[in-house]
Structure 1
């Protein structure tokens, strides 16, 4: 026992000695933080602000500070890691004293300015460098170099620029990651990096401004797993040495200008999991070798020019989750495609191709499917019951095919419990829509489209069970009977289209109960429709126009082209928040109710083709945002109002009313019908003769001005094509059925005038017959847009060049405002940021304006309609557009004589050429002023959301009014939002008010387009936001001049313009 006690005692003693020894050893090895490092970190901290502040107390060893790690033996700082810490400010040069630093992680902060000189040369022990998602600027040039030990180099989402110099990267011998995406780098992609860093695994050059061919050299990166270079300006084809990168798992090259066929050698990359080549100009078939990519998960080849069939070998890619081949020239029997082995497929998009046959039954074996689009193909047959076995299907569009048996289709699809979006338009032709079905499905349906099918029957009762429905389109069918009252009780509907049917009865009063159209508090509840894929719909009633994506549905009611009769009820004024209202081509009678003036958000109002009588209420002049209006083909009488937006409407808006009068119809009002609601009849008698004298004087003055202008243009500055050069036979053979501009009879000589520009010199021998040929007799398939006062067509001339031609509708003459304004404004304006008017021609009252063709359409299209538009418009591209547009407006306001007030600046009037250079367009509302004038008298014209607030109080258009509209355009560029958002929950519809509210709440970062956030441009965007907010100041005197705006935008960020 004693022996055991002694052993126990000595054991305890040994343990104590061991513990003390270890403690002493630890204390000996844990040296205090190096004094120089501590002071350097303190200086680094002083140059920044953070929220919450860094708790770096000098009373605590700096090795114990947040984000700091040290070497235990030397006390030198080896790691500085403060990601997502809210750091604001510039990086202090004191950080260069941390020469033992091996890891620097400052990602996702708001650091700005350039890096200290010789930054990486000084910190030559760095292995991990992560400065991503900040606002840093500078270049990667010969004054600095990568540390030799660096493994990870990530400076993505900043604003570095210039070419990446070879001397900078040649020292990075141990690199594994090189990520510079979302900056402003230029020049050739530095594939030479692979000769210095053969072990690199990730290369990301996406979202920059690299140009030219993809160079050889990447084949030396034998360990590369991911190569990303999307959304640059790369051209040609991929270099063949890429195809030897056998470990490669991701190849991402979308949004460039790559051409030619897909090289079959590409498909030797058998480890690929993601292949993205969409948004290029690739041609030819999909190679059969695609089946070699058996590990492929995402295949994105959409928006190219691929043809042929989908190869059977694709079946080998059993891991596919996304298959997108939309907008190509692919075809073949769709049912022959075997989807049975795609057990992980979530999204399949084969829309806008030429596939034929039935829906493939094997598709319904893909139980993970969520979104399917086969729209705009040539499919036939019936929808089969197996589709209801897809438990997660939420998006299905089969529009524009030739499917049959709508009754069966509805019954089957109602079994898809999670279906939210269903569009079946342009199918089931001349069938009967089932109205006796008792459906229990569609509980989650939000968007339902069954238009343009020529269906017969009645609006079915089962639709009343769709309590989640928001968008309902049954237009362009042959539906009969009354419009059911329960439509007004659907709690979430805000877009209802029943136009082009055979519906009868009186105006459906129950529709006035649609709560989202009648109440602001309810209209604010309209939600964004979250779609698995972008929904493609026609923007208006122009037939045969290409389908465009829209980013939101307006609050709208369409019941036009039916057989509804009786009066328009005065209660229609309850729909205060409707934006589009179309009740045209019915049998409505009686007067136009004055209460329509209560619909103050109206942008489009169509009352044409009815039996309406009486006068046009003068109160409609108060609809300040009305951009489209028609009362044509009724039995109205009296004077046409001239205030508000009425000064901008075409004569065609009023034609077919023999007793209407006014300047727009060139029909003088008699003494009787001038006694209207616009004028007090007691004051008319004595002043009538005086008014006649004034009118006569104005008419004579206009005739004299017109004659002088015409002779001057005709003889001094223009070229007239002799009548003998016009092919009269071609003109006479033309029919209005093809929407041709010229009538068959001739009342005046045809005139063709070209301005002296570089472009028009190339067109010097063009004739009117050439224009007809170039537009295929103004065939509607040539329509590319609809600008102010007319449709715009693309014309391909005999030499292969393109021009844009605006056709002004109706009997518009030279003295009518729109044609006169456009010709006057653009004939005097010559600037690289102003759209070029190459010439015009007119014949028998019809007018054509000939412009330079803008390959990339409008800014509105890229921001709000094109599916990949917002992501393609990087911040540098948006800033370039803002700068270019401001230069164009500056020229109008200050250089051009006489000066020009545009009066309708908006994103759809900013056109983009091939290089995304901005051009200000559409001068149909413009007014010329002399340099010593400050304003012109006007009516409240423009477009909802862009109109300066003072225009509602004064009929004076000013240069600073244009500045306001330009500021709204800049806010669109910054936010990605429309100036009037009809579908934002709980927020004001007005963009300016929303931005101001967000700034007042201190939520500046939330203002910016989510696509732009976190890419290192926040500092620049904040600067531009300040400029935009000054432009949209409510007080015009607080707004800058456009010259000041140009200078401010020029000096934003590091990329300052020199000219």
Structure 2
């Protein structure tokens, strides 16, 4: 009996083992598919996260692979693996593939011609965020009729956007061609994708008009063609697209008026029309879009009294940017009913009056820019805004003209501006002494007090602010020595600076204007160059040697002051320095040869000092002759007419010329540049007329 049971048990094990072997063999993936995947893996590599596919195992169990009941590969899903190499044509042999995602890798080269023609079952294609190039139309000659999502964004594809894509794939719900190099017009034929919900083609070289059939896409939820060259008007037919939630037409050449009945789009959540040529007034019907969360229309030719608009119904509004238009009136009181508002920009308009105390009711407000208007009463404005406890970015530049900036330390207590990171008060022609109340703003990272008439000394405590990495005190009346102690400016001491640790995005972009260069847009604080600008003051004494400890510093401008003594040879330690401006001082001695080791130095100017001796010629020292002008005893290097062996020229001390005198220069400074650019595309002549550094924070511009 025991033997019989044992035999039965043995038979059961053998039967189970045989069944398992047969079942595993039956489930083994198609040999054609397996070989195609092996060929694919042999064409690409990754040191970050290798595929580790092995021909000795069933490919249906490989990472990123899925199979159907017939053991055919239906899913190839391997995004963000650091894959490099070219895509082989063998991928086209996976004829049962329904889901393809190889996005966010480093794949390069051309797609094989007609690679998708045999993949008639594909529902999802995501090849975005790679380094692919070439004419995409040649690779998508025929796409499957089951395709619902196609994403080719963030590559280098050229040519025209495929015009036939909706003919072969009428079920498409999402098309993304953004961030490539496509040119030509948006093709006619999108109307055949009657189920299309998302169409994106932003950041290309597209031009022409929006095709009329795009207004027939009743299912459309989001359209983005931002940052192209598209022109024309927004047709009233857009009101037929009642499912629209996101409209991004910014950065084009659209003109005409915003449809007056745009309020008939009940689901609208985001409307981005900035940097176009729209004219007329802001449609009052827009206030019916009660789901609106983001409204950005800066950089147009819109006008009207903005204080007449009733924003109170926009209870979900989070971001509002009306900057660089021609709006008049006061800051609307109804805005203070928008309790969800986190960012407000009205830069470079014609607004006036005082900032209402009711703005403190915006408990979520973290970004405020009102620069380039005619607001008054800086004393109450700063006191009121101290009550906005979440405020991180405050840009008040080019307002309050000629008022006195409060200086007392007690003006703002320790609890005021506890989260403030960016403060811009430039171009206001403020008088008064240095604002001691900044001592309490310990979270400050960026400060712009340029182009005012602030007097007195730069206080010693200033360098103790723990996160300050960008300082602009240029074009003021500051005097005395610039003191830098051993552990001052801790955020500039090394690459591990505190300002790099929290790389949060700004709610709205900030623009910085510099001499002889287009305005630079910054969307993140950490992208701003660590900098100290003290030019155009009356600072004296030696250049502090301790500056050499600020190894994270990229821009240093001490020009147009009264600094004397030698240029510290220790400045060679500023290994990240890109700009060193020391012109128009009383510096003497030689240019330290050690500065040749500043490998990133792109701009160097020591003109109009009392320097002497040979100009360094190694390393980065291939600067223009004008960088050394006004130093008669300098020789060699670029000064081919002043070789060192023949030098015998008397010392000539620098004298301020009338146009460089601080007072005269400030009073004659072009008003359009002080206030901020009044047009979207400033003229080249206007920029060329600006020969001296002008750092000014505002949110208008391109």
Residues 62, 486 of structure 1: alpha-carbon distance in 2 compared, 3 angstrom cutoff:
closer
Aligned pairs (5 A) from 1:62-141: 67-71=65-69, 76-78=70-72, 80-81=74-75, 83-84=77-78, 112-116=86-90, 119=93, 123=95, 126-130=97-101, 132-133=103-104, 135=107
Aligned pairs (5 A) from 1:195-214: 195-214=167-186
Given the alignment, which residue of 370, 385, 393 partners 2:342? 370
Residues 211, 41 of structure 1: alpha-carbon distance in 2 compared, 3 angstrom cutoff:
closer
Given the alignment, which residue of 446, 451, 459 partners 1:471? 446
Partner deviation per Cα, 1:14-51 (whole Å, 9 max, x = no partner): xxxxxxxxxx9xx99x9654377454565456553875
CA distance in 2, matches of 1:164, 1:672: 67
CA distance in 2, matches of 1:272, 1:306: 20
CA distance in 2, matches of 1:167, 1:490: 57
Match of 1:34, SS state, is helix
The offset of 1:468, in angstroms, is 1.4
The reply on whether 1:514 has 2:488 as its aligned counterpart is yes
The offset of 1:404, in angstroms, is 0.9
Aligned residues: 634
Given the alignment, which residue of 147, 150, 162 partners 2:135? 162
Match of residue 878 from structure 1: none
Match of residue 581 from structure 1: 556
Match of 1:547, SS state, is strand
The offset of 1:428, in angstroms, is 0.8
Given the alignment, which residue of 417, 422, 425 partners 2:394? 422
Match of residue 532 from structure 2: 557
CA distance in 2, matches of 1:646, 1:147: 58
The reply on whether 1:344 has 2:336 as its aligned counterpart is no
The offset of 1:237, in angstroms, is 0.8
CA distance in 2, matches of 1:475, 1:246: 52
Residues 115, 469 of structure 1: alpha-carbon distance in 2 compared, 3 angstrom cutoff:
same
The reply on whether 1:194 has 2:171 as its aligned counterpart is no
Is the 1:354–1:377 contact (alpha carbons within 8 Å) kept by the matching residues of 2? yes
Residues 425, 133 of structure 1: alpha-carbon distance in 2 compared, 3 angstrom cutoff:
closer
Partner deviation per Cα, 1:622-651 (whole Å, 9 max, x = no partner): 5745554555555x3755646456663434
CA distance in 1, matches of 2:259, 2:597: 58
Match of residue 283 from structure 1: 255
Is the 1:639–1:673 contact (alpha carbons within 8 Å) kept by the matching residues of 2? no
Higher alpha-carbon deviation: 288-297 or 215-224: 215-224
CA distance in 1, matches of 2:24, 2:572: 76
The offset of 1:593, in angstroms, is 5.2
CA distance in 1, matches of 2:67, 2:313: 51
The reply on whether 1:487 has 2:462 as its aligned counterpart is yes
Partner deviation per Cα, 1:778-812 (whole Å, 9 max, x = no partner): x9999xxxxxxxxx99589xxxxxxxx999x9xxx
Match of residue 512 from structure 2: 537
CA distance in 2, matches of 1:353, 1:385: 25
The reply on whether 1:245 has 2:237 as its aligned counterpart is no
CA distance in 2, matches of 1:577, 1:287: 50
Aligned pairs (5 A) from 1:652-801: 653-655=628-630, 660=633, 662=635, 664=639, 794=684
The offset of 1:463, in angstroms, is 0.5
Which structure 1 segments of 5+ residues have no match? 1-23, 88-107, 677-735, 739-778, 783-791, 797-804, 810-865, 870-1059
Match of residue 271 from structure 2: 299
Residues 616, 221 of structure 1: alpha-carbon distance in 2 compared, 3 angstrom cutoff:
same
TM-score by length of 1: 0.53
Match of 2:380, SS state, is helix
Which structure 2 segments of 5+ residues have no match? 1-15, 43-48, 652-657, 661-669, 674-681, 692-698
The offset of 1:384, in angstroms, is 1.5
Match of 2:90, SS state, is coil
CA distance in 1, matches of 2:177, 2:595: 54
Higher alpha-carbon deviation: 332-341 or 422-431: 332-341
TM-score by length of 2: 0.77
Alignment root-mean-square deviation, CA: 4.5
Is the 1:166–1:190 contact (alpha carbons within 8 Å) kept by the matching residues of 2? no
Match of 1:243, SS state, is helix
The offset of 1:464, in angstroms, is 0.4
The offset of 1:429, in angstroms, is 0.7
The offset of 1:313, in angstroms, is 1.4
Residues 623, 649 of structure 1: alpha-carbon distance in 2 compared, 3 angstrom cutoff:
farther
Is the 2:591–2:616 contact (alpha carbons within 8 Å) kept by the matching residues of 1? no
The offset of 1:214, in angstroms, is 2.6
Match of 1:372, SS state, is strand
Residues 157, 500 of structure 1: alpha-carbon distance in 2 compared, 3 angstrom cutoff:
closer
The offset of 1:249, in angstroms, is 1.0
Aligned pairs (5 A) from 1:896-907: none
Match of residue 329 from structure 2: 357
Residues 526, 341 of structure 1: alpha-carbon distance in 2 compared, 3 angstrom cutoff:
same
CA distance in 2, matches of 1:413, 1:182: 41
The offset of 1:487, in angstroms, is 0.5
Given the alignment, which residue of 224, 246, 250 partners 1:274? 246
CA distance in 1, matches of 2:475, 2:701: 32
Aligned pairs (5 A) from 1:897-936: none
Match of residue 26 from structure 2: 34
The offset of 1:416, in angstroms, is 1.5
The reply on whether 1:386 has 2:358 as its aligned counterpart is yes
CA distance in 1, matches of 2:375, 2:494: 41
Match of 2:506, SS state, is coil
Partner deviation per Cα, 1:333-361 (whole Å, 9 max, x = no partner): 22223322222222222222222222122
Match of 1:464, SS state, is helix
Aligned pairs (5 A) from 1:900-979: none
Aligned pairs (5 A) from 1:732-881: 794=684
CA distance in 2, matches of 1:539, 1:264: 41
Is the 2:565–2:587 contact (alpha carbons within 8 Å) kept by the matching residues of 1? yes
Larger helix fraction of residues: 1
CA distance in 2, matches of 1:671, 1:144: 74
Given the alignment, which residue of 423, 426, 433 partners 1:458? 433
The offset of 1:291, in angstroms, is 1.6
Match of 2:432, SS state, is strand
Residues 467, 166 of structure 1: alpha-carbon distance in 2 compared, 3 angstrom cutoff:
closer
CA distance in 2, matches of 1:453, 1:410: 14
The offset of 1:261, in angstroms, is 1.6
The offset of 1:256, in angstroms, is 2.4
Compare CA radii of gyration and give the structure with the larger one: 1
The offset of 1:312, in angstroms, is 1.0
